[in-house]
Chains A and B, each alone.
Chain A
Amino acid sequence: MKRLLFISLLIALSVACRSEDASVDLFDAYSEIGTAIDFKAKQCGNQPGYPLIIPGKPPEYGVRLCSLLILNAECPFTDYPLFCIEMYADECDFCDVPGLDP
């Protein structure tokens, strides 16, 4: 219990110190989003009929946002969430959605 408390305390104190390494390896990004898509596809029984292309060195925030939005999406699963566009934030200006930031 003491260890749990201490870990909680460290987490509480290190919020401002969390690493903000901005990019994810492409393999890791496909793995994260791929498992989210697989899970949602099994849950809903369907999935979009087109692949989700991930740019090279995508920002971690965009990948995380996209995978969580896929997991939380309502069935039927026919399209990828719009805000997955954040994965392209380093590639195009309009992809950096205002109000969404790490």
Chain B
Amino acid sequence: MTTSVDLGCYVFGIVDAGARLSTPLDIPLAAGLRLVEHDAVAAVVSTPPADRPLGRASDLLDHDRLLADLVVSGTAVLPMRFGTVLPDDETVAAELLAPRQEDLRHQLEYVRGKVQFTVKARYEQEAALREVLAERPDIAALRGGDDAGFHQRLQLGERVVGALEKLRATDAPALLEELGGGPDHREHPPAAPDDVVHVAYLIAANESDGFVRRVEEAGRQRAGRIRIRLMGPSPAYDFVGDN
């Protein structure tokens, strides 16, 4: 299919004007990577593929990887939401950068020299379920194996979920306090009943090692009961755009 429509600009994020971009050969979404500048700020844009829609798994990974590379190399960057496409470079400058230059500079200052770490803690499911059963005879009594009726299973599941919430009410605050992190963190509501915490931290890059050690220690103390997953350093995904 040939088309005369503009290829458009895929926008990865916002950086300082004059920021150095290396050209990543192994990130297809970054084809034609360039800066579109307006005064002190610039957008990192590429030319998206013309022969297929965006939104593949590989596009998501590319988006994240390019931004993560920038952040790890010390560049202050405000990630755009995945999937942002504008018609052309002029539109990027005139409609994305120019009208909110002040705000973008402000936000760049906020994230400068910092990286995001994301901590997800989840109960080891089997251990947590056994804990619940040991403490709650009423729940243990509802177990029925395969021959349990629908309503009994529903009631069992509902009580188990409720019991996990109670466990979390104790475990989550304790873990959060141990991780510290000061004011720069964003808590997400649990996505599943056996989640303990899901929280993003904005950490000064030179304090990363100390933070990672705190997470390690928290994980060590909870081994076998709560599993901790640590992601980062990444761009400040959770700390931009609140205006």
Q: Do A and B bind each other?
A: no
Chain A interface residues toward B at CB < 8 A: none
Residues of B within 8 A of A (CB): none
